């Protein structure tokens, strides 16, 4: 009787079209705090959930802007980890649709060719009226004003209570429909609609492998729960799967 890990590896070896869903856990080993980690240093007295909202930005644009500037610097100094690189190697061998809730750019810097970022991107900026803002903002202590309309510029990430980018949602939905296997990595599966992608994949009856040191609300729906760290599990799981003969 093959252990669950070996069965998960065999299922990954066999699948050609793979949906990968990642959350903050895959960047934890790159020293990018997960969303529900306690904040550190100057930001220790704030909860991320209280800063990542349109109301917080309206109330104190400078504070919210400075929090994002701090996070951007943190990510600039971070490096992709073995989990990011393993997923990039998977994309070289199979048709991988990588859907991430993360706003960091570590998947891209780790070599993943096509990242569907359903919560936006930390280094993007647009004004409150939606005009893209391309000028450099590194080092700015306050949000600049839009050159087109004068509205304040804000980070291009999805805030609590905001809808997800339509194009990314459509791409994620179609990836869920096409997948022969789903790999759910480093997410607490608490935030919707992103958490729904794993559920929809499981509902299709395809194998779903969850990689997380903890159990999550999604765990009962996963076919296999590999209880471990992404930066350790993914290189082994993907490495073995890519060495196996695909039947
Ligand atoms: P969370 O912080 O909610 O959950 C991180 C998950 O990663 C937890 O389940 C941890 O057990 C797991 N984890 C931690 N270290 C890990 C490691 N080394 N390897 C694998 N797993 C690890 O982060 P998310 O689930 O990504 O939304 O949060 C989803 C969304 O909640 C975020 O995108 C954000 C927030 O609201 C928006 O900003 C809109």
Confidence of residue 12 (pLDDT cuts 50, 70, 90): very high
* Residue 189 to residues 112, 184, 207, 215, Cα–Cα distance (Å): 22, 9, 17, 10
Active site residue 225: no
Q: Which residues line ligand 1 (CB under 6 A)?
A: 23-25, 28-29, 34-36, 52, 101, 119, 158, 186-188, 190-191, 211-214, 216, 229-231
pLDDT one-digit tens code per residue, 158-209: 999 999 999 999 999 999 999 999 999 999 999 888 899 999 999 999 999 9
**Phi first, then psi: what are they for 200, rounded to 5°?**
-65, -40
The answer on pLDDT for 220 being more than 90 is: yes
Confidence of residue 40 (pLDDT cuts 50, 70, 90): confident
* Residue 114 to residues 92, 96, 208, Cα–Cα distance (Å): 11, 9, 21
Kindly report whether the global pTM for this prediction surpasses the value 0.85: yes
The answer on pLDDT for 247 being more than 60 is: no
Which of 112, 101, 130 has its CA nearest to residue 189?
Answer: 101
pLDDT one-digit tens code per residue, 79-98: 999 999 999 999 999 999 99
Domains of the chain listed by start with CATH number: 2-31+80-119+164-243 (3.40.50.1220), 33-77+125-157 (3.30.1600.10)
The sign one gets for the Cα dihedral 80, 81, 82, 83 is: negative
């Amino acid at each position: 009787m093959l252990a669950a890990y070996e069965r998960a590896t065999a299922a990954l070896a066999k699948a050609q079209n793979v949906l990968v869903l990642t959350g903050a856990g895959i960047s934890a080993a790159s020293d990018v705090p997960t969303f529900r980690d306690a904040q550190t240093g100057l930001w220790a007295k704030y909860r991320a959930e209280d800063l990542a909202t349109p109301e917080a930005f309206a109330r104190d644009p400078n504070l919210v802007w400075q929090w994002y500037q701090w996070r951007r610097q943190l990510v600039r100094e971070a490096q992709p980890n073995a989990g990011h690189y393993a997923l990039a190697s998977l994309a070289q061998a199979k048709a991988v649709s990588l859907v991430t809730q993360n706003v960091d750019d570590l998947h891209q810097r780790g070599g993943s060719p096509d990242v569907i970022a359903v919560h936006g991107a930390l280094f993007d900026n647009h004004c409150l009226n939606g005009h893209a803002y391309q000028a450099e903002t590194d080092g700015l202590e306050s949000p600049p004003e839009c050159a087109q309309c004068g509205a304040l510029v804000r980070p291009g990430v999805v805030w609590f209570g905001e809808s997800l980018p339509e194009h990314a949602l459509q791409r994620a939905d179609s990836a869920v429909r096409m997948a022969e296997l789903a790999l759910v990595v480093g997410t607490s599966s608490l935030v919707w609609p992103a958490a729904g992608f794993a559920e929809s994949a499981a509902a299709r009856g395809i194998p779903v492998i969850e990689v997380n040191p903890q159990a999550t609300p999604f765990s009962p729906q996963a076919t296999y729960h590999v209880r471990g760290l992404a930066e350790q599990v993914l290189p082994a799981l993907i490495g073995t799967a890519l060495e196996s003969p695909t039947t």
